Each structure stands twice: as structure tokens, then as C-alpha cells.
Structure 1
Amino acid sequence: MVDVGEARTAPVGRRAREVCARGTRLYDAARTVLEDHTRALEAVRSALAPLRDELVAKELESIPVARLKDATEGRLRLAAVEAAGLTTVRSVYEAGRFQLRQIPGVGAQTADQALAAAGQIARAVEETVSVRIDVDRPEPRTTALVVALHRLVEAGPELRRAVDTAAQLDGALRELLPAARPATGRLRLALAGRRRKEAALEATARLSELVADAAAKGTPLQLAQASTDLLRGPASDIEAWVDFELRSAEYYSQLAEVSEHRTDEAAAEGFLPSEVARRVHAQPLDDTHRRVSLRGYQSFGARFALAQRRVVLGDEMGLGKTVQAIAALAHLAAQGQTHFLVVSPASVLINWTREIRSRSTLRAVPVHGPDRQDAYAEWRERGGVALTTFDLLHTLPAPEGTAAGSRATGGTALDGAACGMLVVDEAHYVKNPDTRRARSIAAWTRACDRVLFLTGTPMENRVEEFRTLVRYLQPDLVPEIHDSHAVAGPHVFRRSVAPAYLRRNQQDVLTELPALLQTDEWEEFSAADQDAYRTAVAEGNFMAMRRAAYADPEKSAKLQRLGELVAEAAANGLKVVVFSYFRDVLAAVQQSLDEDTFGPISGGVPAARRQRLVDDFTAADGHAVLLAQIEAGGVGLNLQAASVVVLCEPQVKPTLEHQAVARAHRMGQVRPVQVHRLLATDSVDERLLRILENKDRLFDAYARRSDTADATPDAVDISDATIARRIVEEEQRRLAVEKAD
């Protein structure tokens, strides 16, 4: 509030008119953004409505009319309605009052009660149905929805910030502009009463501050960019579908936000006690340094990490624990923190680096390899997110101080800086406190005020492991953790350990999301991988280049990551199918996994034998692994028992990947399917993806898509020889340059 003394110094006359004019322009810009955004949202809702109505109608068609009695506690008499042929809730819901009244024996009260009960059921169904977009079967209605969503997705996360800014300006300027108007003329101000005069001067002073602050923050440009993004002409059908395939998760995130689809709130909050949930909801989450929108449960997870300070985030694999951790780091960066540390297995370090750089404005600093000490020193000096591995952490200088002593500065002392948060990925790696890696983690957790452990392994099944993890974080909670809580069920266990543990399952929170979750697992070649790869490149052997990452199974970075994915799937009771183009790669996979596997299914296996392998895999109780050559297992077999698919290498023909994934992601699949593609940086994998993800190539594939094309991969794929020759030549030039250097 501006006091009267300050108000007397407010601009009057010409200066006030200039301030009001600038305020009016800002107000008009804010209103324009809000109106354009509303129109964009309405376009999505209009496209969504017929798809959702159809799903609701189908569901109501399957519900017998007798269910209307349940909604009225048995008071409704339906014999006459059923006799008239209205045997489902849908038939009653669509009949209307007039048609029902025409049925002999149905009075006004019965008709009204039946319609009210049908409407109640329809609303309940509408909250549960989920519209899914099938990229392989585009039709006019889903195309309209994808095109409408494209405008919002293309605008990016900056649009949400612009809309929030516009809403704040709209509320403030709506009051300030009329109140300041008397100050725009000296005569008008003189004729105003004392109270109106003081209010006008105060409003003008506040308006001047608001306009100046907006200019300093670049708000006019932000609003102009948002309007430009929202007013772009609609994308072509092909452009929208191609973009959807490249970033479908962002489309579904927008769809969930626009449709306001409600998941089970208690499940989305991990069945936390109400007092903990309230504290989490009260925690703000600044998105200034974040480049990705969060789904509701992900926002809650990031807030939980911030509000509870030292916790385990144990979401089931595929729910985006990394994104939630990055959101928490981005918030702390906006609050002034400059240094963060992420510790992970070596197999996911490159993924963390890529995710931080693509999903935030934070600076990622890999601290590994021969130059790790220099990188660590640079991080201590300049800040950012340092990324290192469990096995290298002990080689870095130990942190100073304790968590209690560091709270005054916000974290661990690092040459005068502070470590704002320690993130430990795959935290079950430190379940044995006697190991060197565990001791290193313990030293850092004692020194850091904020610590976030990530693990996809359900702690309910490993209570003693969980006690170990909690000892690092909240030791006072350990005596409260009893085996009996886990025996009583997962919900009871989670409530008992709520201050330190949050876990959500896919089936609870992914009802509005795609049934297909794709993750690229980037790895760096091991020394053995690199030697095999260089030899293959020198020989110009494209196929050997593609499988060089598996040349030495005991030292293969890809196989190490595959083992971790399989282990996590096993912990969650999920079935896995592993695809590769190469038989020898599947043999290496089979050799590396510490468990019995089904298969491999290959071209030399008779069809009847293939089906028996699939049947045995499907009938296996709980977790199981099936190995399949992608050209043999990717066609003609139904693998919907699998909810995790691992692709050992990218395919030259994208349709091979699509067909293979479709074996699991199909009718009858009751869980979201996770697809993990194993990729090596600075290799044939990266070059191949650059070619295959080129939008011109995808445009061509979509434009020529037909039943024939779907049935024949060659119909939409450019020459294998062309791709191979191009990549071999590129890699020979690159490695020759590196060798010369």
C-alpha cells in the first residue's frame, strides 16, 4: 500500500496520462492473452467433447438399467421402463423426459427420478473415461484434437507463465486504471472530492510502479510472444501428427490440464495423512527455471520433496521421478540456491545430463572421467548441478559441516557456497551401510539440509532396506517403522512412514495419460565398447557398429543398464520383452541376466514353437523376461502380458520398432506400456536417430501411410544402404579427426 505522503508525489496531468496510457496498453495486452488462451482451450474442449461423449455412451450402454435403483436407494420402479425396451442406462439417459412420460405406467416423478439417476451415473462415468490418441489410426476427430492441442504445446511452458502474468495484471489494472483516471487532468483532480483525490493519487503511484516493474521484467514482450504463439494459424494435419509422435507426453499433459481430468486424489498423493498433504499443498513451486509442464501428481511430488526436506520418492518406474527432482532443483534455484549434487549409477549419468539441460535452465556439470577433479572444482566455483556416480563420489573432497549447521546458509558449505539439495538416484544402491558408496552418501546426507532419494523399488516389500534409507534422512522416524505396517498393506505402510516416503503407482495416476511411455536410455561406451566400435568403423562394417556395445558382455554399458531395468521391473512384478535385430546381442542379453529367460524367438524358431514360448511367458506367475529378434517377434505375436519393452538398439526401419512395440501395446493390455530404447552417445545410434527423427522423413512416412505401408515396412523407409553408407562415412570422418587431435 502506498501511503498519502507517497501519493502526493504521484504523477498528475500529462505525466499521469502517460502512465495511464502505458497501463492501458499493458491491460489490453493482458486481456488479449487471456482471451486468446481461452479460445485455444475452447478449441481443445470442442474437439475433445465428441470423443469423450462416445466413450461415456459406450460405458453407459454396458450398464443395465437396474443400476438406476442403486442411485435412488431402491426407490425407483423400472418395470415399465424395461418393458418399453429401455434396458441400459444409456437408453434412459438419451430418452429425455418427454419420451419417458409416453411410456404407460411412467409418471412425472418416475421419469424425473430415472433421468436424475442416469445423469448422476453419466457424470461419474465422465470422470473416469480417458481419451487415448492412437497415432497409428488417425481419424478426423482425433486429428482435430491433436491439431487443437498443437497450438498449446508449440507455445511451450512459457505460455503458462504468460497467462499467469496476464491474469495478475488483469486483476490489478482493472482496479487501478479507473481509480487513477481523475489524476490525468488537474481540473478533474481539483473537482474530485478529497477522498477520490487521495485514492486517485495513490492509484497513479501504484500504477506507475506496476508499469515500471513490468517494463523491467520484459512483460510486454512476454505477452506479445504469447499472443503470437496463440494466434498462429492451425498446423496441418500431418505436421500436428508428426509433432505428436515426437513429444506425445506433452500433448497428454496439456490434454489432462485442459480436460481437468481428476485422478484419485488420495492415490495421487500417495495416501499421505491429511496434515502432511496440507503442508505439501501449501509449498509453492517456482517454475522460472523449468522448461517442462508437470502433471498434477508430479507437481505434488516436487512439492513433497521441498516441504519435507529429506525424503524418499519411490514412484513406480515410468512416472517421471527425474522430472520431479529437476522441478525441485529449479524451484530452489529460483530461491537463490546455486549448487546442487546428483549421485547416480554410471548407467544413467548421461540421461541426467540430458534431462537437466532439456527440461530446465540449470547448468549441468558432469563430474566423472579423468577430468572429474577439474570439473568438481569448476562446479564449486561457478555452481550448477554436479552429476557424479556412486563409485566416484568417494574420490571427491568430502563435504564440510552438518545438516544442522548448514541450515543457516541453506546447505553444505562449499568454499562459501552452499549445496541446496543432494539427489540420490537408484537409492537402493546404498541399502548396505557398510559399503564405501554408502559411507560416502552418508557423509553428504549428514552435511546437506535437503536430500532427495529416488527409487522405483517398492519399499513396502523391503522394510529393512527402507529403514536403512530413512536412517540417512530422518533417523528419528526409524523406531516408528514396523514390519506389521507392511503386512497390513501398502496404504497402511505409506501412511505410517508419510514424513519420509511418497510412492504412486501407474494404475492410480496414469488414467488420463497415454498407455505408451517412451524413454531413451543414453549410455556412454565403456572402454571395451569403444575399442569394438572403432574397429567396426575402421572396417566400414555398419552392422558391427550397431552391435559394438555388446561385444564384451561383462563390460557393456548397455547391458548394465538393461540389467537395472529388468531388476526394477522384477521388483514391481512386471513382465519384460527384450527386442534386438541381432541374434548374438540376444545371446549376450541372455548370458548377462541373472535369471531364467524365455526364448529367444528368432527367425529360425518354428511358428508353433514361438507361440508356445509366448504362452509360457504369459502364464508365468509375476515377473518374467522374453527375448525376441525384432523381425520375428515383432510381427504376428500378441505380447500384452508384457508392460516393459526394451529395444537393444534403434532400428533402421522405424516401422520395425512400431510393430514390435505394438505387440505389447494393444487391446487387452491393462497397464501402461513402458518402452526403453538403449542408445550410445557419439555413435551410430546418435547418427541414426538424427536421420530417422528428421521431420521431413516422418512427413513422408505419414503422407504415404496406408494399409499397404503398414503391412510392408519397406514401403515407408528409405534405402538401408543409403543410411548405412552415410553414417559410416560420417563416423569415419569424426573418429579420424579425433585421432588426429
Structure 2
Amino acid sequence: MSVLARSVREVEAALRRGRVSPTTRTKFQAVALLLREERARVRAEQGTSERHRAEQLKRVDGIAKALAMSAVREPTLLALLDDDAVVSDEARSLSREVLRTAGVETGPEPGPEQADDAAEVPAAPARPRVVPQAVVSRQLANPFLAPDFSAPRPSARRPTPLAGWELLGPLLRSFERAGGGAAACMSLPDPSPRRAPGGQQLMPHQAGLVAAVEAGHRTFLLADEPGLGKTAQSLLAAQAADAYPLLVVVPNVVKTNWVREAERWTPRHPATLIQGNGDSLDGFADIVVVNYEVLDRHMGWLGDFGFRGMVVDEAHFIKNKTAQRSRHVLQLADRIRSRTPRPLLMALTGTPLINDIEDFLAIWQFLGWIDDTAPRAELMNALTATGLTPADPGFYPAARRAVVDLGIVRRRKVDVAADIPARRIADLPVELDGQAGRSIRAAERDLARRLVARYSDALTTRRAGAVVEGVDHDLVRQVARWELKDATSSSAGDNVFGMMRRIGRAKAALAADYAAQLARSAGKVVFFAKHVDVMDAAEETFARQGVRFSSIRGDQTPAARQREIDAFTGDPDVAVAVCSLTAAGVGLNLQVASNIVLAELSWTAAEQTQAIDRSHRIGQTEPVTAWRIIAAQTVDARIAELIDSKAGLAAQALDGSDDEVGSSADVQLEALVTLLTDALSDASPSQEASDGHRRAG
């Protein structure tokens, strides 16, 4: 402890002297790493009293707080505290040196020879890299929660008439040879009308899949087009199969949305999100959501948690079986299958089955239909039942039907157009991680503090006798008007307009990444942003991912603008139109796309509707979905709610009305009112009492 405290003081002294040197950054990261390890060691230490452990944790937290306070002076250091920050070799070496100084024995540092030798050794089974404390607490809290792994393993494959045939190649060719009328969806039971929690009505195509689960089906390749509610179907399927605990593996951009959708559709089954090392994990939740990027560090305990179901979202992410994330997903699925009789396994992707069909070998393996070399028992039995071999002409349509019947479900928007609104808005909340997210949240707190200060100053100067218990809402509104007037006349970036622009830049890459996913799975996408720098950032993301795009901006000549429009509408390889919300929100016909991504919020519902109407107009043959990217836990989310309330967008569905209800200034004012009211409501009673005494004095 004393060595750590001295190291922190050295970092503080270096920061006070001025510019941050590489040596200071290395020492800062090394100390942060050691503090994290020391805290974990103290918490896991056995044979000590609770009082001693609490005292030790208090000392560690005190040193950590001092380190964090020093980082506030230098924003570039904050990124080194992130759970996902890459630890440099220099920082690891220095941390070992600090341990030796403290008298702690350390093993030999790995040298190049060891690294080369390790590369030649076959990969060992996945071992736990981290075990969140919440998982340990779950294991200790109730012995009846311990998973039962006594289920019998599947028996060995029995010989069949097809045992001597190579079948994976013919199975793939059965999809490539399929004619236009070949079925792409298994037969589903006739759905009965049913309601979800909160009175929500399931659409018939959603209810059909849930009915199949209730009838006993347990593996699905759910390949519905985006906008048809794959997330809701998966959650309700898990509930119907009682497949809890349920593991959900998702891309980073949609992880927050999965937790929100679980709260909406299955509120009796709490969901938790794995962030970083899982420090905020709820070990007793029924649904565990993890993104691909952090899956590797949690492989150990995930494999032993006792999951009875697994959902893989954007399952085309695992198409390359040699990639690390694909191997992890397949290992977890094998572990679940070996320990749970008939688990629920669902792979979600909007990618059409006829494109790059070899990519689906990994998905079929995840679902347990095949292994590395051949079909598994269920599929082999279905192929044997046809009485055909790959030498028979009728084998290919029969084999395709056998695979589809195992659980392929594919519906297009145009097929279920009667089930869904002609146009609708779907909110997609995203977490702003890293330094950008921390900076935005800090700026929002600064804005709230400035509003509170103006409010307090106004309270001290108003005329005597105007006493109001609690929050003076009339004064709150007046302060918001003052702030809005100052923001309108100032170009400074610390006002609400600057805040929204910063949020837009932080969301740009996430929004573009989601638009690229949509383009790959559903065809052309229109991407709207308000600011040029947000459009630039999005276009950089598209270029990096190899997605061709058109750029429609306000500073283009009419001829250049038309060339970009023609490229998007006429060239099948141009997947995305990157449009300015103000310059391209009117006067364009973009009916070739039925999916729109709104990367930044407009200040009015009318402006939002105008953008959606670029695709939802005469000539559009499919329902249109606008995906609104919302920065969770920021003023962005408040503004989205205000826009909807002003326009009366019930249940996030557009009713087709373009009537303006309230102006943009109304939303801007209400956003500031909400921000100030929340800040005043969050103030502690002691602080309010102190303010009251100061005003009385």
C-alpha cells in the first residue's frame, strides 16, 4: 500500500510540473493496473475478517481516488483508466518493478523465445480470464442456483446409408441451385392472437415463431429482414422455452438496445450487460448480454454458468470459423449443448441465404445441425428419410427442404406488410464509451452546474416575499430562456447546441457501423446527419469497411448533386446515401431504400418526418423503418422524448401527419428545463438547506 501511495504521489508531482511525458503516462497506467489487481486480491482474500477487508479496500479506494483526481487535470490520461485500454509492455514491466520494490515475488518476464514456443503449441481450452464478483456472489448465495451438468452427452453417430457420402458440399449446392419458388422458411404453426406485457400486441409473423417454440422447436436461423422484430421474437421465444439463464452475444452498437428490449418484452426476467471486466454485472439476472469484443476475457465463467439458451445477433459475424470470436461462440454453444437437454439456440441475421452461402456453415454448426465435417444426427436422419443420395437428381431440393425445416425462418417486409406500419421510427440506444463519452458526460454536468448557479443567483436577487417551497418551476423556465438566448447568440461550444454537435460526432462511427450492417443485410440505406463533420466521420467509416456510398450535401452544384443521387438510385453497388438533414431533407426521391438511419436528432418532428419521406413516397413498395440512433444517458435521450411528446408519436409509430406541434425553440427550451429540473431534484437535502441558509443570510 505504501509503495502504491508513493507511486501516486510521484505521478501527481509530475503532472504539477507541466506537460505529460511518456514516462509519466507509463507510470500512471502501471499504478492503475496494480490498484485494480490489488483491489481484486483484497476482495477475494480468504481467512481475513470483514472488518480488516473493509479497511484494506478503503485504503485502496483512497489511493485510487487520488490517482483519478490527478487524471482530471490531463484528459488524455482518462483513456488509460478504461477497462478496454491496451496495457503497454512498458507499463507491465514497470508494474512488475513496483511489485518487486514492495517485496512481492514475481515470475520471470516472458521473453521472445517463450512467445515463439507458445505459438507452436496447440491452443489450450478456454480458461477464465476474469470472473466478475457478481458471479462469485451468485455461486455463494444459494447452492440451488448452481447449474446441474448431469445431462447425458449425445450418443455417437450411428451408421446410415449416407455415411460414406461427403454431404456438406451438396447441402450448400442445394441452396445455390434453388429456384425462385423454393421455400425459405420452415412451416410455422398458425398463430393465435396474443399480447405481450404492457398490452403490446404481437404481430402475426412474430407470434408464429413463438408458437413454434411452444410446440417444442428449439433451433432457429432467424433471417427476417431488419425491422421485423427479431429481438422481440428471440426474447419471447426464450420465455416460451424457459431457456434461462439466457446468453445473448451481440455487436457493440446494439448491446444497450437488447437490455432495453428485454425490459420491454420480458420484464419479469431481468437482463444484465457485461461491460469491460463485468464489474457492473448482475449475477442473478436471467438474461446476460455480452458484445463480441469482450467475449474472450469472460469465456471461463460463461462456460460454467449453466446457460439453457443462447442467442447470437448479427450471426454473420461468426462466418469465419478461424476468427477468435467465431471459435468462442462455437465453444460456448458446444458447452451448452453438452450440458443442457435440447437448449434454445437462435442465430439472428438479416443477410439473405442465397448470398455467400458458405458463410452459413459456421451458423449451422452453432445451431448443432452440422459439425466440422458432416451433418449431426438430426439433420442426417432427415436426409436419410428422403431415401436419396447426392447422385439422385431429386436430392438437392429434398436436402434444402430438410435444412429449412430444422429451423430457418425468413420473412421479408413486403411479405408481412399488412402486419407492420407503413412507416415507423425505431430507437436504437447506444452507449458512448471511452474518452469521448466521458468528456460529453462531463460537459453535460458542467452545463447543468451552470444552470443551477444561474438559478441560485436568481433566487438571491428576486424580491422579498416571493417564497416557493421546493423547486420554483417558473424560475426554472425563465433561467432556461436566458440560457437559450445566450446559446443562440454565441458560437461557444459549451451550450446545448455545442453539446448536441459533440454527441453527434461521438455517435457518428456507431451510426455508420449500424448503417453498414443494414446495407449488407437489407439493401440500400439512407443515412442522415445534421453536421458536416458527422457526415465526414460516417463516410470515413464506410470507406474503411469497403461500403460504397453517395454524398448529398448543401454545398454541391445541382449537377454534382444529381450525379450522387443517380449513383445511389441506379448503381446496385452504391449501398448508402449520406445525406445532410437540412439540405437533403426535402426534394429528393430515394424510394430504392426502405431503411433510414438518423444519426443526429433534429429539433422538430416535422424535420424528422421530411427526412423519412425521402423514402416513404409514391413508388415505395415496402414499409419504411427509420432507425434513430440515441446516445443513452445523455441529453440526447431527453430530446428524443421531447420531440416525440411534441408530435404525439404514440408507440414510436408515425401516423402519417405532417402537422407541426410546437417549434424547434420549444424543444430546445424544454430540454434545458428538464436538465435544470433534474439537477435541482438530484441535489442533496443538506445542500438545499445550505443554499436556503445562504439566501436567508
TM-score, with structure 1 as normaliser: 0.51
Structure-1 separation of matches of 2:638 and 2:396: 48
Structure 1 residue 524 displacement after superposition: 0.4
Give the AA of the match of 1:652.
W
Structure 1 residue 305 displacement after superposition: 5.1
Structure 2 counterpart of 1:564, from 514, 517, 528 = 514
Structure-1 separation of matches of 2:271 and 2:612: 35
Structure 1 residue 684 displacement after superposition: 1.8
Structure 1 residue 532 displacement after superposition: 3.8
Structure 1 residue 339 displacement after superposition: 1.8
Taking the TM superposition and a 5 Å limit, the aligned residue runs for 1:606-617 are: 606-617=557-568
Larger radius of gyration: 1
Structure 1 counterpart of 2:274, from 368, 391, 399 = 368
Corresponding pairs, count: 430
Structure 1 residue 571 displacement after superposition: 3.8
Q: Indicate whether 1:589 and 2:538 are aligned.
A: yes
Structure 2 counterpart of 1:631, from 561, 582, 597 = 582
Structure-1 separation of matches of 2:561 and 2:292: 41
The structure-2 alpha-carbon separation of the partners of 1:598 and 1:460, relative to structure 1 and needing over 3 Å to count, comes to closer
- CA contact under 8 A between 2:191 and 2:207: conserved in structure 1? no
Partner residue in 1 for 2:462: none
Structure-1 separation of matches of 2:323 and 2:503: 29
Partner residue in 1 for 2:500: 546
- CA contact under 8 A between 1:575 and 1:641: conserved in structure 2? yes
Partner residue in 1 for 2:673: 726
Give the AA of the match of 1:580.
A
Structure 1 residue 445 displacement after superposition: 0.9
The structure-2 alpha-carbon separation of the partners of 1:494 and 1:427, relative to structure 1 and needing over 3 Å to count, comes to farther
Q: Indicate whether 1:394 and 2:344 are aligned.
A: no
Q: Indicate whether 1:302 and 2:210 are aligned.
A: yes
Structure-1 separation of matches of 2:679 and 2:551: 33
Tell me, which stretches of 5 or more residues in structure 1 are unaligned?
Answer: 1-266, 402-412, 700-704
Partner residue in 2 for 1:419: 307
The structure-2 alpha-carbon separation of the partners of 1:542 and 1:718, relative to structure 1 and needing over 3 Å to count, comes to closer
Normalized per residue, which structure has more helix? Answer: 1
Structure-2 separation of matches of 1:679 and 1:368: 20
Structure 1 counterpart of 2:406, from 488, 495, 499 = 499
Give the AA of the match of 1:393.
L
Give the CA RMSD over aligned residues. 4.0
For residue 640 of structure 1, give the secondary structure of its aligned residue in structure 2. Answer: coil
Which one has more relative contact order, counting CA pairs under 8 Å at least 6 apart? 2
Structure 1 residue 457 displacement after superposition: 1.4
Structure-1 separation of matches of 2:415 and 2:426: 20
Structure 1 residue 718 displacement after superposition: 4.3
Tell me, which stretches of 5 or more residues in structure 2 are unaligned?
Answer: 1-178, 337-342, 380-388, 447-492, 651-655, 688-697
Structure 1 residue 440 displacement after superposition: 2.2
Partner residue in 2 for 1:293: 201
For residue 464 of structure 1, give the secondary structure of its aligned residue in structure 2. Answer: helix
Please list the CA deviations of residues 131-158 of structure 1 after superposition, one character each: whole Å capped at 9, or x if unmatched: xxxxxxxxxxxxxxxxxxxxxxxxxxxx
Structure 1 residue 429 displacement after superposition: 1.5
Q: Identity, % of aligned pairs?
A: 26
Structure 2 counterpart of 1:431, from 296, 314, 319 = 319
Structure 1 residue 646 displacement after superposition: 0.9
Structure-1 separation of matches of 2:275 and 2:423: 35
Please list the CA deviations of residues 49-91 of structure 1 after superposition, one character each: whole Å capped at 9, or x if unmatched: xxxxxxxxxxxxxxxxxxxxxxxxxxxxxxxxxxxxxxxxxxx
For residue 631 of structure 1, give the secondary structure of its aligned residue in structure 2. Answer: coil
TM-score, with structure 2 as normaliser: 0.54
Taking the TM superposition and a 5 Å limit, the aligned residue runs for 1:239-254 are: none
Structure-2 separation of matches of 1:388 and 1:318: 22
Structure-2 separation of matches of 1:725 and 1:644: 32
Partner residue in 1 for 2:347: 453
Structure 1 residue 284 displacement after superposition: 9.8
Structure 2 counterpart of 1:686, from 632, 637, 641 = 637
- CA contact under 8 A between 2:234 and 2:311: conserved in structure 1? yes
Give the AA of the match of 1:593.
F
The structure-2 alpha-carbon separation of the partners of 1:484 and 1:735, relative to structure 1 and needing over 3 Å to count, comes to farther
Partner residue in 1 for 2:569: 618
Q: Indicate whether 1:522 and 2:429 are aligned.
A: yes
Structure 1 residue 321 displacement after superposition: 0.7
Structure 1 residue 558 displacement after superposition: 4.9
The structure-2 alpha-carbon separation of the partners of 1:395 and 1:450, relative to structure 1 and needing over 3 Å to count, comes to same
Structure-1 separation of matches of 2:578 and 2:311: 34
The structure-2 alpha-carbon separation of the partners of 1:623 and 1:323, relative to structure 1 and needing over 3 Å to count, comes to farther
For residue 674 of structure 1, give the secondary structure of its aligned residue in structure 2. Answer: strand
For residue 664 of structure 1, give the secondary structure of its aligned residue in structure 2. Answer: coil
For residue 587 of structure 2, give the secondary structure of its aligned residue in structure 1. Answer: coil
- CA contact under 8 A between 2:193 and 2:204: conserved in structure 1? no
Structure-2 separation of matches of 1:649 and 1:727: 20
- CA contact under 8 A between 1:349 and 1:389: conserved in structure 2? yes
Structure 1 counterpart of 2:238, from 320, 329, 335 = 329
For residue 520 of structure 1, give the secondary structure of its aligned residue in structure 2. Answer: strand
For residue 625 of structure 2, give the secondary structure of its aligned residue in structure 1. Answer: strand
Partner residue in 1 for 2:183: 271
Structure-1 separation of matches of 2:182 and 2:300: 35
- CA contact under 8 A between 1:425 and 1:454: conserved in structure 2? yes
Partner residue in 2 for 1:603: 554
